Chain A
Amino acid sequence: MVTPLSCSLPNRREGGPKASGDERLKIAPGSRLHAICGSEDNSEQYYCNYGVNEEYEKQFQAAGLRVSARGMQGESRAVELPDHRFFIATLFQPQLSSRPESPHAFWLAFLRAAMQFQKALSRRNANGASRGKAHAKAGAR
């Protein structure tokens, strides 16, 4: 499903892997990635030698994975699960262009999702615990 990249990025770093340096992206409108990153800054940093094997793309899509970003030649660069609370995988590495004074929007969105999930989990556990107590009471009678 993953295959060595057939060609290098135009701005490949000297001595770096095929996908190194930056590349412009087309982020699919309506995707979660688009909601996070918008489309105004869509150049991202890479450090990778592999990409999605395009022969499997139809199977990915049939399984519910959607391509949320593509390179200028149409190659898949990011995928996501639309029905999941937060499931995004990217070939680029938003951590490489994140800066202390302006952390990358991708990581801000991921942390926010984790914070919301933590709250949802603790509510779920609190409900579960009270249910557990009720069961224990019922059992004691």
Chain B
Amino acid sequence: MPTAVRIGIIGDFDPSYHSHFATNAALYDAATKLKVPLLLRWLPTPSLDGADAPKILSRWDGLIASPGSPYKSFTGMLRGIEFARTRDWPFAGT
């Protein structure tokens, strides 16, 4: 069994927002096609506006900035993007 690829989605999951469901679905479908187990978690923006943000973010192999501003914590979102940019972490913002 290959190691699961761990993806963190930075954003505030809203079950009524189609784009959020579509993000999860597209990732699971892509992982199925690549035959790799996927560990997918949403990282709420307020959880990233503190000094421990890098510790939380570095647990993931790839980071995604979710659609759907305004975010609960714009600072948290920016910290997430900044982490990916400056630490050369795989990042997709859609």
The residues of A with any CB-CB pair to B shorter than 8 Å are 47-48, 50, 81, 84-90, 92-96, 98-100, 103-104, 106-108, 110-115, 117-118, 121
Q: A113 — which chain B residues lie within 8 A by C-beta?
A: 62, 90
Q: Is the CB of B30 within 8 A of A103?
A: yes
Residues of the B chain whose Cβ atoms lie less than 8 Å from the Cβ of A88: 91-93
Number of A-B contacts defined by CB within 8 Å: 111
B69 touches A106 (CB 8 A): no
Does B22 count as interface, using CB distance less than 8 angstroms? yes
The interface size bin for chain B is 20 to 34
Which among A107, A113, A115 has the highest number of chain B CB atoms within 10 Å? A107
| Contact B34–A112 (Cβ < 8 Å) | yes
The answer to whether A95 and B22 touch (CB under 8 A), given A104-B30, A114-B7, is yes
